[in-house]
């Protein structure tokens, strides 16, 4: 039986998240920088010849309509492939954290099954399939840190300096819909430009901007405030990532050993992470944008 084991699905942090407006159809216009970090879920794939998609939860139980199964079924429909797969999911990235765990799992599933089923779909084709699963899926397929605009569909890859971070996840999570539907949400941040972000020094690039969702999140989920307060007790200035409840702060050189993780309340999950140069599955699918000579 053909298999693919230990396929990583890395999380992301939003260095900032600005809401610059709202479209007539209700979708919010945003600007953000998405950064890949080395906090990963791990997926296992075994080929099935009967066309069935089955799933095994290797850590905690997942919803029946988890994005991994939906991604596999979407790829089957788009390709007309009659093969199937048994997928084992070892979760590590917490849900409703704003770290893109489900979307990353879906992206890694598309890349892995594209290889296991020998489809040879391009990154761009996989991204069009992924966009129907979630707005963050194309980012994880692009393989690099990125400046993200529009409703999340405009992705410009960029490079970031290597850095260390502490990520803190409260016990409670937050849903995107709950935050974006709040009438107190700030929706009029000034539009930024990518060159303005890139012009910052290494010391300032990770402190750029703010997260417009944070004030509403703190109102809805007291755990967000407790996580930020704990970071402050460690001498760190934190901010929320994405639209979930996790917060993070950059660790300065030599400060990792000074973080007293044991002092964090039991309701807080604390993890030290590094950003990645590229997605670990970068190059697993060809690109239509490459010029063939």
- Known catalytic residues are 12, 136
Residue 289's φ and ψ, nearest 5 degrees, are -85, -10
> How many whole angstroms separate alpha carbon 127 and alpha carbon 138?
5
Residue 44 CA neighbour count, 13 Å, CB half: 12
Other CB atoms within a 10 A radius of the CB of residue 148 amount to 24
Q: What residue spans of the chain are helical by DSSP H? A: 67-79, 101-116, 123-131, 137-142, 176-180, 194-198, 202-205, 214-220, 222-233
Distance CA(58)–CA(89), nearest Å, equals 5
With H, G, I as helix, E, B as strand and everything else as coil, classify residue 185: coil
CA gap 92, 60 in Å, rounded: 9
Buried b / exposed e over 2-14, threshold 16 CB at 10 Å, is eebeebebbbbbb
β-pair type (164-170, 268-274)? antiparallel
- Backbone angles phi and psi of 19, in degrees to 5: -100, 115
Q: How many CB atoms lie within 10 A of CB 151?
A: 13
- The two structure tokens encoding residue 152: 């999340």
């Amino acid at each position: 039986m053909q298999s693919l084991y230990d396929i990583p699905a890395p999380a992301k942090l939003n260095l900032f998240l600005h809401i610059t407006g709202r479209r007539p159809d209700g979708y919010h216009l945003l600007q953000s920088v998405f950064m890949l970090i080395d906090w990963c879920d791990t997926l296992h794939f075994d080929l099935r010849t009967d066309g069935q998609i089955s799933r095994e939860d290797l850590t905690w139980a997942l919803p029946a309509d988890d994005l991994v199964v939906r991604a596999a079924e979407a790829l089957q429909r788009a390709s007309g492939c009659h093969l199937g797969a048994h997928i084992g999911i070892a979760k590590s990235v917490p849900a409703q954290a704003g770290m893109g765990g489900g979307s990353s799992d879906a992206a890694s599933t598309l890349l892995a099954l594209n290889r296991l089923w020998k489809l040879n779909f391009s990154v761009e084709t996989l991204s069009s399939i992924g966009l129907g699963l979630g707005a963050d899926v194309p980012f994880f397929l692009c393989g690099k840190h990125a400046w993200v605009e529009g409703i999340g569909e405009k992705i410009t890859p960029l490079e970031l300096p290597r850095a260390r971070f502490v990520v803190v996840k409260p016990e409670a999570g937050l849903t995107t819909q709950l935050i974006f539907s709040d009438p107190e949400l700030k929706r009029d941040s000034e539009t930024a430009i990518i060159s303005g972000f890139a012009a910052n020094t290494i010391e300032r690039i990770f402190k750029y901007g703010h997260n417009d969702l944070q004030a509403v999140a703190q109102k809805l989920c007291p755990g967000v405030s407790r996580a930020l307060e704990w970071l402050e007790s460690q001498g760190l200035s934190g901010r929320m990532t994405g639209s979930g409840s996790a917060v993070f702060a950059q660790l300065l050189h030599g400060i990792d050993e000074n973080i007293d993780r044991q002092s964090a309340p039991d309701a807080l999950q604390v993890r030290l992470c590094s950003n990645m140069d590229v997605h670990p599955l970068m190059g697993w699918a060809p690109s239509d944008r490459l010029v063939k000579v």
